[in-house]
Amino acid sequence: MHVPVQAIDREIWRDGVTSEGARLIPGETPLALTYNGGTYAVMMGTPQNLEDFAVGFSLDEGVIKSVDDIKSLEVVRLDDGIELRMWLAPDEAARVSERRRHIAGPTGCGICGIDSIAEAVRPAAIVPPGQTFTPELIMTAMQAIAPLQSINIQTRAVHAAAFWTPSNGIVALREDVGRHNALDKLAGSLARSRTEASGGMVLLTSRVSVEMVQKTAAIGAPVMVAVSAPTALAVRTAEAAGITLIAIARSDGFEVFTHQGRIAAHRAQEIVDVVA
């Protein structure tokens, strides 16, 4: 049964007392991404916003260069999983066939099936300059995520990726049991709506690994904010891509690891120091 959330009966042991009842938990199912009839990847994920996932994965993995490269997309629900069937133009299809891989990725695996170290640590795209954000805006953006996480409110077991702008607040938010999948879904949503990402921030409820930076760079967002810590490689990749990487964002503040100049208060202090 391919549903985002389902109720499961369980036995509960708390404080020496035993009881029974149902609990809502997130769905997880194999998601096969196919191009022109050939399987490229199989990921485990939450069966929701699957068109967004198909488009976002294709863009973030470099399978396509534009959402327009996908000529048709069909979501086919099978007994043992879901196929995301995409058809590309002949030139794109030929390129994909050269690098096709057959993988079974564990939940949230971002680089399953990569067959070379160079491909795993490929340079991220260089992001545009974007704009500056005050610390207050960054905190406001992060606080806006939780109320919109409909699956997590029910299950407390999924990640979210969101895009926020000062003028519109949360523009899009996507959830998944896999943090990479959630970001792919967000990328697909933004691409399908033709949303320009240079004026906003990508928000994450997870830690920041190098793949998350690479995907954010592919989206074109100059700022990413996460609740957990980054890896050392993620920091180096963000620095090279021109991304302002903000992490360990809590109710009392956050930590800025790269390109601090996009934080308005920091830039104001630099001006004061120069004048002094």
Place of tokens 């609740």: 227
Q: Is 160 left (phi over 0), alpha (psi -120 to 50) or beta?
A: beta
Under CATH, to which class is 135-262 assigned? Answer: alpha beta
Mean pLDDT of 120-145: 90
**Percent with pLDDT over 90 in the chain:** 80
Domain with CATH 3.40.140.10 in the chain: 135-262
Residue 120 pLDDT = 57
Average pLDDT over residues 222-245: 97
Strand, coil or helix: what is 176? strand
Answer CATH for 29-121 from 3.40.30.10, 1.10.274.10, 3.30.70.1140, 3.10.20.10: 3.10.20.10
What is the predicted pLDDT for the residue at 91?
Answer: 80
The rounded distance, in Å, linking the Cα atoms of 128 and 259 is 12
Q: What is the pLDDT of residue 1?
A: 75
Residue 104 has pLDDT above 60, yes or no: no
What are 93's two structure tokens?
């299809």
Q: Is the pLDDT of residue 114 over 60?
A: no
For the cut 70, the answer to whether the pLDDT of residue 105 exceeds it is no
Q: How far is CA 100 from CA 18, 36, 96, 110, in A?
A: 51, 11, 6, 16
Q: Which residue in 93, 103, 109, 114 is the catalytic one?
A: 109
Please give the pLDDT value at position 169.
98
Q: Where in the chain is the domain with CATH 3.10.20.10?
A: 29-121
| 112 flagged as catalytic | no
* Helix (H), strand (E) counts: the chain: 9, 13
Using the predicted structure, report yes or no on whether residue 273 has a pLDDT greater than 50.
Answer: no
Does residue 271 have a pLDDT over 60?
no
Residue 259 has pLDDT above 70, yes or no: yes
- pLDDT for 108 beyond 90: no
What is the per-residue pLDDT across 176-232, written as a single tens digit (0 to 9) for each? Answer: 999 999 999 999 999 999 999 999 999 999 999 999 999 999 999 999 999 999 999
pLDDT for the residue numbered 96? 80
- The secondary element (H helix, E strand) that includes residue 239 is helix 232-241
- Least confident stretch, 1-10, 43-52, 81-90, 99-108: 99-108
d(CA 256, CA 263): 9
DSSP string of 240-267?
HHT-EEEEEEETTEEEE-S-GGGBHHHH
